[in-house]
Structure 1
Amino acid sequence: MNDASLGNDAAPGDDSLLGRALVEEATKKSGLIWVRGSGPARALWHVWHEGAAHVVGDGPGEQPLPELADGSTAEITVRSKDKGGRLVAWTAAVTELPPGSEAWEAAVAELKGKRLNAPDGERMTERWAQECRVLRLEPRESTTEHPQGSLSAVPLPSPATTRRPVPAALPRLLLRRRRKN
């Protein structure tokens, strides 16, 4: 299936229905999707709700979103949850949901259930309304073709760090404490 259109005007049995079903099922089951706007792609947690992926971010303590403007398009890559390989890629229409709107409330209710380790559990939706963006990524086209060559990229800068080597003197200090006891 090459670049199947995901429009609503598809006839029964058309490849576009199969493409829509593949996009929906793969995105629902995947914990992360890779989203690319005008800058580099970012791995984002999401929720599938009412025919589109929804993401929240760009606020303190939340995931950084790629450069996406309301009305733009984004490239989404969905990975396999168990193997991590690329299953399907699709193009999405980006809509920023205004805080307090009916669509925003419905999306946030779903997102709230998937947000892990929130610093302010009960006040989280208020903080999202004031400081974050909620984006709806609605599928337009999909493809299951795999690109030629590697898609690997240099990791994006992050304040997160990995473990550093143990200082050389630490094992001696620990052994001294054991001998004294």
Structure 2
Amino acid sequence: MTSELLDQALVEEATKKSGLIWVRGAGEPAARALWHAWHEGAACVVGDGPGEQPLPGLAEGGSAEVTVRSKDKGGRLVTWTATVVRLEPGSERWEAAVAELKGKRLNASDGEAMPARWARECRVLRLEPTGGVVPLPDGDLAARPVPSPATTREAVPAGLHRLLLRRRKS
């Protein structure tokens, strides 16, 4: 019982404080970073509309795996399982979640009209913790980069700083 309460507290505190969560919907090969708002015991997300974040694999009633990173160091803190619940536009729960999300939405072009646009064109979902915390992995989970013709820059030439310093003096 105590372990379950500690897991629940860890999930809630870590998710509240993190600006992004990594969510992998059922059947998706990889997790996707999503901005969210923690509201009444669940992470709420909005998306799948024009100008909003995509929500692939997050079907109503499905499940998802949510990974929360440390705000300070960026490392994985906890991974938890969630049930995905779609909120119906205009419902009391939808209004409360949208009020919370609206305050966290950055760079919105339509300001006060945003909730109406979300009701028409987007989905608002609650990711409700199921109580399951996934154990942290032992190994490295870094994925190989996608092949690309792009290259990295080479090292700065040793005498470059002297050239730049000479130009500034004259």
Q: Same fold (TM over 0.5)?
A: yes
User: What SS does structure 2 have at the residue aligned with 1:21?
Assistant: helix
AA in 1 matched with 2:75: G
Deviation string for 1:4-41 (max 9, x for gaps)? xxxxxxx5xx2100110000000000010000012121
Question: Which runs of structure 1 show a deviation greater than 4 angstroms over 4 or more consecutive aligned residues?
Answer: none
Q: Tell me whether 1:143 sits opposite 2:133 in the alignment.
A: yes
Q: Kindly indicate whether the alpha-carbon contact (under 8 Å) linking 1:35 and 1:66 is maintained by their aligned counterparts in 2.
A: no
Q: Kindly indicate whether the alpha-carbon contact (under 8 Å) linking 1:92 and 1:140 is maintained by their aligned counterparts in 2.
A: yes
Q: Tell me whether 1:78 sits opposite 2:68 in the alignment.
A: yes
Q: Tell me whether 1:47 sits opposite 2:37 in the alignment.
A: yes
State the match for 2:8 in structure 1: 20
Q: TM-score, normalised by structure 1?
A: 0.75
Structure 2 Cα separation of the partners of residues 123 and 153 of structure 1: 40
Q: Tell me whether 1:87 sits opposite 2:77 in the alignment.
A: yes
User: What SS does structure 2 have at the residue aligned with 1:84?
Assistant: coil
Q: Kindly indicate whether the alpha-carbon contact (under 8 Å) linking 1:88 and 1:142 is maintained by their aligned counterparts in 2.
A: no
Q: Kindly indicate whether the alpha-carbon contact (under 8 Å) linking 2:34 and 2:45 is maintained by their aligned counterparts in 1.
A: yes
Q: Kindly indicate whether the alpha-carbon contact (under 8 Å) linking 2:81 and 2:133 is maintained by their aligned counterparts in 1.
A: no
Deviation string for 1:144-170 (max 9, x for gaps)? 6321322223679xxxxxxxx9xxxxx
Q: Kindly indicate whether the alpha-carbon contact (under 8 Å) linking 2:44 and 2:125 is maintained by their aligned counterparts in 1.
A: yes
| Number of equivalenced pairs | 145
AA in 2 matched with 1:80: S
State the match for 2:18 in structure 1: 30
The percent of aligned pairs where both chains have the same amino acid is 72
Q: Which runs of 5+ in 2 are unaligned?
A: 147-152, 154-170
Q: TM-score, normalised by structure 2?
A: 0.80
